[in-house]
Structure 1
Amino acid sequence: MIHHVWGLFTHPDQEWQEIRGEEESISHMYLTHVLILAAIPAISAYIGTSQVGWSIGDRAPVMLTESSAMQLTFMSYLAMLAGVAVMGAFINWMSRTYDASPSMAQCVVFAAYTATPLFVGGLAALYPNIWLAMFVGTAAICYTVYLLYVGIPTFMSIPQDEGFLFSSSVLAVGLVMLVSMMALSVIVWGHGVGPVYTS
């Protein structure tokens, strides 16, 4: 797992070919990659919001109670795990349009590795700061999109022009999922599961 993560940051073209050549089950992918990497932003956010806090101007740091931070961390962790599976299922469904024939497991593997920069970028949550979050978040999103556009043609063994359309479709679905998750968060917060701040 780790050598693939490193390879995606140093030589993504070659790494996608290696990943494509491996046979990996969904359960093995989750156990060795997704469960571990998705924990990075979740744990970082828990520490950052409950132990460090964020400051607005010269005011004292604002922090969440540990129970509230734990609850929100658990929910966001489950959302990330589900997000990888949903994106994998969509990629598998969309692949039929482009005459590609990856298995469901391969599509989940692709979705998981594509999301790697987002997971690693979650380390920025250890120190809650709006400018740091914007900088790291933007860089992680940009590299995730780059991995998507570079990876689809290689991983699906389709021409570059079809790969561009395929990647654009996947990106659009990813954005819709993000907006849906934000809307769901607002609904859940409205039913009493929102953040609770320390006094």
Structure 2
Amino acid sequence: MFRYIPGLFFAPKTTWNRIHDDVERRPFGFLPVLLIASLIPALSAYYGGAVAGWAIFGSDERRFLSSEAAGLFAVAVWLAFVSNAILMGYIVRWVLYRTPRRPPATHGIAFATFLSIPFMLSGLGALYPERWVLLPVFMLAGLFSIIQLYYGLPQFMRMHQDKAYFYGACIIAAGMLAMVSVGVFYLESWRAIAPPGEYQNLDEQRQDEGFIPGL
């Protein structure tokens, strides 16, 4: 199903119809997309935290995560994306409970997975985690995700476009709450188990690596 990802941005109506037909034939065919695409923000977060350094905490001083803390953070990010897609799938099924063609859970999760693609791709912004990079990237991802929702809902769920606006608004409202809740849960979980002293400034990192000025 990876071949459908470019079409979401260039031909969304046709692509959503093809995704629907594919999910009908292979209900769990979306799982590789969910599990592998979620690695994009996870690996980017690892690189941004351990190698590039973070400068988004109200200070211009660049700070770094230790390798262990960055690895745990990457796992937390991956779990957050996977968990959010699964939760959103059940939210979609719940929101559409009165529709004639209420989707099964697998269809809901597949739909949520492809809705999450803009956010997964936007995770590349974490390779250079600066405020001026992350904010526009995530805002653009949110915009694309909303556009995909309104294109995909009538095509994937086989409903009239007029009804899609109402159900789409409900999915957005519930989805934002779910996304924030899942994100906070995994962030707090990471903070609880991350090793102490996980942040290092540039001077400390150079000292740890045996950096000698003038050489």
Q: Given the two structures, how large is their TM-score scaled by the length of structure 2?
A: 0.83
Larger gyration radius, structure 1 or structure 2: 2
In structure 2, distance between residues paired with 1:141 and 1:18: 23
Q: Give the CA deviation at 1:186.
A: 6.1
In structure 1, distance between residues paired with 2:50 and 2:187: 21
Task: Indicate the residue corresponding to 1:19 in structure 2.
Answer: 19
Is 1:119 the counterpart of 2:120 in the alignment?
yes
Task: Indicate the residue corresponding to 2:210 in structure 1.
Answer: none
Of 186, 196, 199, which aligns to 1:197? 199
Q: What does 1:94-113 align with in structure 2 at a 5 Å threshold? A: 94-113=95-114
Paired residues of 1:25 and 1:105 also in contact (CA < 8 A): yes
Task: Indicate the residue corresponding to 2:207 in structure 1.
Answer: none
Q: Give the CA deviation at 1:104.
A: 2.0
Matched position secondary structure for 2:137: helix
Is 1:90 the counterpart of 2:91 in the alignment?
yes
Q: 1:45 to 1:186 in 2, by over 3 A?
A: closer
Paired residues of 2:80 and 2:186 also in contact (CA < 8 A): no
In structure 1, distance between residues paired with 2:36 and 2:190: 27
Q: Percent identity?
A: 27
Matched position secondary structure for 1:144: helix
2:78 counterpart letter in structure 1: Y
1:8 counterpart letter in structure 2: L
Greater mean deviation of Cα atoms: 185-194 or 99-108: 185-194
Paired residues of 2:76 and 2:190 also in contact (CA < 8 A): no
Superimposed CA distance per residue, residues 73-126 of structure 1 (whole angstroms, 9 cap, x where no aligned partner): 111211211111111112123222122232322221111011101001111111
The RMSD of aligned alpha carbons is 1.9
Matched position secondary structure for 1:97: coil
In structure 2, distance between residues paired with 1:182 and 1:109: 20
Structure 2 spans left out of the alignment, 5+ residues: 205-215
Q: 1:107 to 1:50 in 2, by over 3 A?
A: same
Superimposed CA distance per residue, residues 24-44 of structure 1 (whole angstroms, 9 cap, x where no aligned partner): 223x321x2011110000000
Task: Indicate the residue corresponding to 2:33 in structure 1.
Answer: 33
Superimposed CA distance per residue, residues 165-199 of structure 1 (whole angstroms, 9 cap, x where no aligned partner): 11111111111112323443564366454882124
Q: State the number of aligned residues.
A: 195
Structure 1 spans left out of the alignment, 5+ residues: none
In structure 1, distance between residues paired with 2:183 and 2:115: 21
Paired residues of 2:90 and 2:108 also in contact (CA < 8 A): yes
Q: Given the two structures, how large is their TM-score scaled by the length of structure 1?
A: 0.89
In structure 2, distance between residues paired with 1:88 and 1:109: 7
Q: 1:47 to 1:130 in 2, by over 3 A?
A: same
Paired residues of 1:24 and 1:106 also in contact (CA < 8 A): no
